[in-house]
Structure 1
Amino acid sequence: MQHSAVPELAHTHTRPIHWLATATAVAGVVALSSVVQPGSATAAQTPGPRTASAPAAAPATTGVDFPLECGPVRALVQRKATGDLDGDGRPETVAVVHCDAPMGTPPDALYVLTRAAGEKTARVVATLIDPQERRTVTRVSVVDGTVRASFLGYSTADVPSCCPDVKDTAQWRWKDDRFVRSTPAGAHSV
């Protein structure tokens, strides 16, 4: 048997006083826990500070009847952006839509969609770019209630559809119950 280099310590021998002290400490913890109790549990949440109702979701583009003549093919949403355009606190959706043609580059249309309270499907309330304008929208965004779009177009009707020769930008803002178009500062055609 190997002997320890450290002398035996007095506290390593249990005596009845140690057991009495441990029992007293445990009894004190049990007594204290019966006095200090957490609140009763409930399934309901306690009401917090009142907040405004959750913001309305922007209208979805699915199921919308776009005013676009596509013949046997369907209308395809290429891009979209959302934001509150008329200041009513409910967001609108701006959608870039064209016919899903199997060949070529069909012109885009830029529509504004809204959905009234209680309606399931959105509806088109404004056309910002008509497909008859022969534009291809390359970017669309909504910033501070303003719709901004970049698009390609044609300088004359003689330019082939494959090769747009004009790059332009425009923005629309809701004013006096209609969308007013303007050209952002610094915008230019190529």
Structure 2
Amino acid sequence: MQHLEGAELPHTRFRPAHWIATAAALAAVVAGSALIQPDDAGATQAADGKQLRGPDPSTAFYPGLRCGGEHRPQVQAQGSADLDHDGRPETAAVVRCPAGIGTPPSGAYILGEPAAKDAPPRVLATLVDPKDGMTVSHFSVRDGEISATILGYSSKDVPRCCPDQQAKVKWDWNNGKFVRHVLPAPGDTASV
């Protein structure tokens, strides 16, 4: 039997290639979590084929969303349509504070035209409150309907990188307000 004390095994040596591969994998995970892309962003078409443009979400003030220092919330996804059937387009937007690392909670809001010419857009409704600590993904505004997947955590012990609950939801205008509906998903055992 060969004595291995002090001998380095070949599979335990770290080479620069290992560190580069690890760094690349970590960068891909961070970049992927930062790029929440909507299925249908920006303006949508009205029945007559004209583009509907709602208020600009980058200029709004969002209640419940306070970013540190001079940082402004980042718009992650948006879509415009006449969501409350009043003849004017609104903008549905998902926003969050910028983060160097990690996944800050999302807020989802409905924006209406400003009250005055130089004022920011008005927040008409909060669909997802950032204080609830959830993340919004797969967000879309299509045919006047808002849908998304909401990711959350079952307890404070679950690492913020790895949500362990999800729900597919949609919102519609009903009796003067936006109502959230959780959509059934076959095989899902956890929901937010």
Pairwise same-fold verdict (TM > 0.5): yes
Cα RMSD for the two superposed structures: 2.3
Equivalent pairs counted in the alignment come to 138
Q: Normalising by structure 2, report the TM-score.
A: 0.64
Q: Which runs of 5+ in 1 are unaligned?
A: 1-51
The residue that corresponds to 1:60 in the other structure is 56
Q: Which runs of 5+ in 2 are unaligned?
A: 1-47
Identity %: 43
2:88 is equivalent to residue 90 of structure 1 = yes
2:162 is equivalent to residue 163 of structure 1 = yes
CA shift for structure 1 position 80? 0.8
SS in 1 for 2:77: strand
Q: Which of 79, 95, 99 matches 2:77?
A: 79
CA shift for structure 1 position 160? 1.1
Bigger radius of gyration among the two: 1
Distance in 2 of aligned mates of 1:77 and 1:180: 22
Distance in 1 of aligned mates of 2:174 and 2:52: 22
8 Å CA contact 2:53–2:81 kept in 1: the answer is: no
Give per-residue Cα distances to partners, 1:125-172, cap 9 Å, x unaligned. Answer: 111001122111111112333211112211222211111111221111
Give per-residue Cα distances to partners, 1:59-95, cap 9 Å, x unaligned. Answer: 1113211221112132111111121111112111111
The residue that corresponds to 2:180 in the other structure is 181
8 Å CA contact 1:110–1:129 kept in 2: the answer is: yes
Pair 180,99 (structure 1): closer, same or farther in 2 beyond 3 Å:
same
The residue that corresponds to 2:123 in the other structure is 124
Q: Which has the higher contact order (CA 8 A, sep 6+)?
A: 2
The residue that corresponds to 2:15 in the other structure is none
Pair 88,108 (structure 1): closer, same or farther in 2 beyond 3 Å:
same
Structure 2 counterpart of 1:101, one-letter code: A
The residue that corresponds to 2:7 in the other structure is none
Q: Normalising by structure 1, report the TM-score.
A: 0.64
